[in-house]
Amino acid sequence: MLTNEEVAQIILNQFGETVTDFDDPYDLLTCSTSRDQIVSLVKFLKEHPTLQIGFLTDITAIHYPDSAGKEFCVVYHLHSLTKNFRIRIKVYLTTDDLHIPTLIPLFASANWMERETFDLFGILFDGHPDLRRILNMEEMDYHPMRKEYPLEDATREDKIDALFGR
């Protein structure tokens, strides 16, 4: 059974200061890295003889419009089926530069997860063979999960946010 500390130490020994912000909210090891390191970090975790974190559970993104320089966060969930260990890796991006390398060479399942993330947030996965919209129609010219697109018509005055939620 791997502990969060052990895995964090293994990652730190290999990558040093390029992997930061270690945390374990609700017992799930979380760390951040840069987009230059993400592929090599995931590859290292996948090929490491004791970790064997070789299952890509999920890719998604989060939009934080108010945090300057870190507006977008791409979140990877990985899972080691042999050691039953989960890890979450975050990569922060700025609005002007939403490029991040693709994980398709490592996991075939990354294809549609990345397309979905592109569709909803506009994250550009470099090296993706077919980066098109997947859930929304091709003609759409915006990325709907960004926070600047309110769910309801912003011009309505009969609904007060304080009473009916954001």
Partner 1 sequence: MVSEELDIANKNLPAEQGPVQYVNELTTLNLGPTHPATHGIFQNVLQMDGEKIVSGEQTIGYIHRAFEKIAERRPFYQITTLTDRMNYCSSPINNMGWHMTVEKLLGVEVPKRAQYIRVIMMELARLADHLICNGILGVDTGAFTGFLYIYQEREHIYEIYEEVCGARLTTNMGRIGGMERDLSPTAIRKIKELLVRFPKVLNEFENLFNRNRIFMDRVVNVGGISAERALSYGFTGPNLRAAGVDYDVRVMNPYSSYEDFEFDIPVGQSGDTYDRFMVRNEEMKQSLRIIQQAINNLPEGSYFADAPQYYLPPKQEVYKNMEALIYHFKIVMGEIEAPVGEVYHAVEGGNGELGFYLISDGGRTPYRLHFRRPCFIYYQAYPEMCKGLTLSDAIVIMSSMNVIAGELDA
Binding site for partner 1 (CB under 8 A): 25-26, 28, 30, 54-58, 60, 62-63, 75, 77, 81, 84, 86, 88, 107-109, 111-113, 116, 120, 133-137, 144-145, 151-152, 165-166
**Contact call for residues 115 and 136 (beta carbons, < 8 A):** no
Distances (CA, A) of 140 to 49, 63, 120, 128: 45, 19, 11, 20
Closest separation in Å from C-beta 56 to partner 1? 6
The pair of structure tokens assigned to 32 is 């951040």
Residue among 94 and 149 whose Cβ is closer to partner 1: 149
What count of residues does the chain have?
A: 166
Residue among 6 and 24 whose Cβ is closer to partner 1: 24
Count other Cβ atoms within 10 Å, centred on residue 49.
Answer: 5
Closest separation in Å from C-beta 137 to partner 1? 8
Residue among 14 and 106 whose Cβ is closer to partner 1: 106
Residue among 17 and 66 whose Cβ is closer to partner 1: 66
Please tell me what DSSP assigns to residue 39.
H
Residue among 11 and 143 whose Cβ is closer to partner 1: 143
Closest separation in Å from C-beta 17 to partner 1? 24
Closest separation in Å from C-beta 87 to partner 1? 11
Closest separation in Å from C-beta 72 to partner 1? 12
The count of C-alpha atoms lying within 13 angstroms of the C-alpha of 3, restricted to the half-sphere facing its C-beta, is 3
Distances (CA, A) of 5 to 29, 71, 81, 122: 9, 29, 19, 34
